Amino acid sequence: MANSYTTDRSDDEIRSNTDAPEVVVHRLPLYVRVLAQLDVTGAEMVSSEQLGTQLQMTPAQIRKDLSYFGRFGKQGRGYNVKRLSQELRSILGLNRQWNAGLVGVGRLGRAIIAYPGFRPEGFHMVAAFDEDPSVVGSSVGGIDVRPIAQIKETVAELGIHIGIVAVPAPNAQSVCDALVESGIKAILNYAPVAPQVPLEVKVRGVDPVLALQSMTYFLKS
């Protein structure tokens, strides 16, 4: 099985690489997901060719992606599924708990709070904020809704690392400003707008309308 590798290194050799292209970092969770699926089936080893088939990528691209974070062993039988998964999760910081706070408790915000997929992956929704007096003080999914004015003190109190923005577009910039001022360095933005933030703050946008608009390019003919 050519061009495949075993993982054969100690934990202290696993490292983050700030020079890795962002697009590579964005692909690492896809590797983790595929490896988890393989683990469920009982697979012990997987080659870069097999990963490439699952992810519709070339084996060379997979090996190049992984090479940004260290050498993952020698040519041989392939990657050990469990070990590679553990190492990638460590590189991504998924081996610890991350507290998140949601701003905007409308229909979308309530759906985000109710989504069961966050906690098993280490993302704990610990706070929610809104500016609507009829919502503030209520409990949604077991989380007390606080006024937006309390973001800074709540971030410090609960050790929040990630801000999730689910407010209308006109309010998104001011909400992101409040999160940044509170020390938040990572924002998941569901608002249909690109907020301006300092370079050290990472913002990922989730906009299904944009996704649909790009798909219609291929459907229009």
Pair of tokens at residue 164: 């999730």
Domain match, 149 and 205 both: yes
> 92, 115, 132 — which closes off a domain?
92
One-letter identity of residue 4: S
Domain match, 182 and 130 both: yes
Transcribe 132-199 into DSSP letters. Answer: -TTTTT-EETTEEEEEGGGHHHHHHHHT--EEEE-S-HHHHHHHHHHHHHTT--EEEE-SSS-----T
Compute φ and ψ for 204, nearest 5 degrees: -115, 125
Domain match, 170 and 199 both: yes
Q: Which domain holds residue 144?
A: 105-211
Pair of tokens at residue 25: 């970092």
Query: How many domains does the chain fold into?
Result: 2
The SS3 of residue 103 is: strand
pLDDT at residue number 76: 66
Domain match, 54 and 128 both: no
Domain match, 87 and 118 both: no
Domain match, 112 and 198 both: yes
> 62, 92, 122 — which closes off a domain?
92
Q: Nearest-CA neighbor of 144 among 112, 115, 101?
A: 101
Domain match, 109 and 203 both: yes
pLDDT at residue number 14: 45
Bridge partners, residue 67, by sequence: none
Pair of tokens at residue 40: 């469920």
Domain match, 111 and 186 both: yes
Q: Taking a C-beta distance cutoff of 8 angstroms, is the pair 175, 128 a contact?
A: no
Domain match, 119 and 71 both: no
Asked if residue 157 belongs to a domain, the reply is yes
Ranges of residues in the chain whose predicted pLDDT is under 50? 1-14, 73
Q: How many CA atoms lie within 13 A of 217 on its CB side?
A: 5
Asked if residue 123 belongs to a domain, the reply is yes
Asked if residue 78 belongs to a domain, the reply is yes
pLDDT at residue number 7: 41
Asked if residue 5 belongs to a domain, the reply is no
pLDDT at residue number 9: 42
Rounded Cα gap, residues 66 and 49, in angstroms: 14
> 46, 70, 92 — which closes off a domain?
92
Q: Taking a C-beta distance cutoff of 8 angstroms, is the pair 100, 112 a contact?
A: no
CATH of the domain at 189: 3.40.50.720
pLDDT at residue number 146: 98
Report the 10 Å Cβ neighbour count for 46: 21
Asked if residue 166 belongs to a domain, the reply is yes
Asked if residue 2 belongs to a domain, the reply is no
Domain match, 112 and 52 both: no
| Residue given tokens 């896809």 in the structure block | 30
Report the 10 Å Cβ neighbour count for 120: 7
pLDDT at residue number 74: 54
Asked if residue 99 belongs to a domain, the reply is no
Domain match, 43 and 19 both: yes
Compute φ and ψ for 184, nearest 5 degrees: -70, 135
